[in-house]
Chain A
Amino acid sequence: MIRRAAIVLAVAQFGLVFAGLLVGHVERQSLPPLGKRYVELVPRELGAANVITGILLSYRAFDTLGEVAVLFMVAASVGLVLARRERRKENLLGDARLATRQASEIVRTGAQILVPLIAIFAVYIITNGHLSAGGGFQGGAVAASSVILLLLADPRQRFDQQLLSGMESTAGILFVLVGVAGLIFANGFLDSRVLPLGQFGTFFSAGAIPLLSVLLGVKVGCELSVILDRFRT
């Protein structure tokens, strides 16, 4: 009873704080100075049509690198937490049931048709990150969704962990190398102007942003696939 009252009180207090935020909220009529500066600078200096990708992969690309490091750490620690399970697999009730259970015909056929389409869509999102909504993170997540569909269709599916880790590390190293190239040939670490900016709005434009986007997409896709694969019993 006391517990319940405490919960109600806590939620009510949060509700009060949030109500205050909501009442005090005034919709912006114009961009704040920093946002305005980014909207002006990204098309002019970086030649990227998508301002958000420009911020993520050039001005704040160092943060993106940190982000990917977080993902890598999660993949490693999920492996660490779940590692000991492998040895005591046989005394787990769930595993025996899972091993004999097959995905239904609909799921298997659906996976066969959809996985290539999802993969193409992922590539589209990754390579058009500088032109339209999308980018490395988003496309990588879409690619990983095709992996989870494969796993649903056949839980015993084997992925080449070595290949995934290899691709992921290579993409990471290349990402940092492009960053170092920015340090030498342009104005700073991960400056995307190491490559020519090209015609604004075309596929080969915005300097190194499409390249960074592809590397990021490969890295995120591989990392998420490794994480998903680790969860398989």
Chain B
Amino acid sequence: MISTVVLATGLTLILIGIWGTLTQRNILRIVIAFSLIGTGTHIFIVAIGYVTSGTAPIIDRGLSTSEAPMRAVDPIPSALVVTAIVIGLAVTAMMLAFAIRLYEARKTLSIDAFTESKG
């Protein structure tokens, strides 16, 4: 039940991101839309790893080694997301760097000013 709600949240974020990349004209807003797609994907992946009434796969007083395989959530999607967040940050940094260069070229952040590659 919980994972379905989280899954729906992630998918909605991805949809908002796709809509934003297609409709927005400001480059910064497009970058934000791409980040939304990334964040939505992360939420989606974490939600897939959820096990009913599971807890974080960290052994401590509340979760002994023997009962961990029964009560912990899947650690693999979480480990994947840690790396995916870093890649997302890298992509955002690159996009922002290009945005700065594009702004210097045309003194505007609107993609309507960049018509060279328009077919």
Give residues in A with beta carbon < 8 Å to B.
7, 10-11, 14-15, 18, 21-22, 25, 27-32, 34-36, 38-40, 42-44, 49-52, 55-56, 60, 63-64, 67, 70-71, 74, 77-78, 81-82, 85, 88, 92-93, 131-133, 135, 137-138, 141, 200-201, 220, 224, 227, 230-231
Contact = CB atoms under 8 A, between A and B. Distances in A.
Given A7-B22, A71-B90, A49 B58 contact: yes
A52 B83 CA distance: 11
B51 A30 contact: yes
Contact of A82 (B68, B69, B85, B101): B101
Secondary structure class of chain B's binding surface, majority of residues:
helix
Which range contains the number of B residues in contact with the other chain?
Answer: 35 or more
Given A10-B22, A35-B75, 8 more contacts: A14-B15, A25-B7, A39-B68, A40-B68, A43-B59, A51-B59, A51-B68, A138-B82
A82 B86 CA distance: 21
B15 A15 contact: yes
Interface string B1-19: 1111001100100110011
A35 B49 contact: yes
8 contacts: A15-B15, A28-B74, A52-B75, A63-B83, A77-B94, A138-B82, A201-B59, A231-B93
Contacts of B107: 93
B54 to A, nearest CB: 8
A32 B74 contact: yes
Contacts of A135: 82
Interface of B: 1-4, 7-8, 11, 14-15, 18-19, 22-23, 49-52, 56-60, 65, 68-70, 72-76, 78-79, 82-83, 85-87, 89-90, 93-94, 96-98, 100-101, 104, 107
Contacts of A81: 94, 97-98, 100-101
Contacts of B65: 43-44
A78 B19 contact: no
Given A39-B68, A85-B100, A28 B52 contact: yes
Top-8 shortest CB links A-B? A51-B57, A35-B74, A74-B90, A18-B11, A81-B97, A49-B59, A51-B75, A7-B22
Nearest to A13: B18
Contact of A22 (B11, B56, B69): B11
A128 B89 CA distance: 23
A88 B105 CA distance: 12
B69 A39 contact: yes
